[in-house]
Amino acid sequence: MNTINNFTFANDRSDILAWLSPLNPKLRHQDIRDGRVGNVGEWLLQTEEFRGWEAGSAGSESDNPVLFCYGDPGVGKTFVW
């Protein structure tokens, strides 16, 4: 049997995925959610741009189904909502 970094091809898929990314997204999400302060991103929800994006135009080509929040690392994007 072939071995790569102490894993054999016979190992469970979950073991291989854990080796590729040892991060636990569920715990990370919980930590972030617990660290949020109420109404921090409320200003964003009140902007004309956000309200226009949220309302969309019911199926037209100008709909924007994805909201992309950009900014430098560490400025608080994760904690906005």
So where are the chain's domains? 3-79
- Give me the torsion for CA of 37, 32, 68, 52, rounded to 10°: -30
Query: What is the Cα 6 distance to its own chain's centre?
Result: 31
Round to whole Å and give the CA distance between 63 and 53.
8
Whether 71 contacts 32, CB under 8 Å: no
Give residue-wise pLDDT tens across range 24-68: 888 888 888 888 888 888 888 899 888 888 887 555 555 657 778
pLDDT band at 72 (very low <50, low <70, confident <90, very high): very high
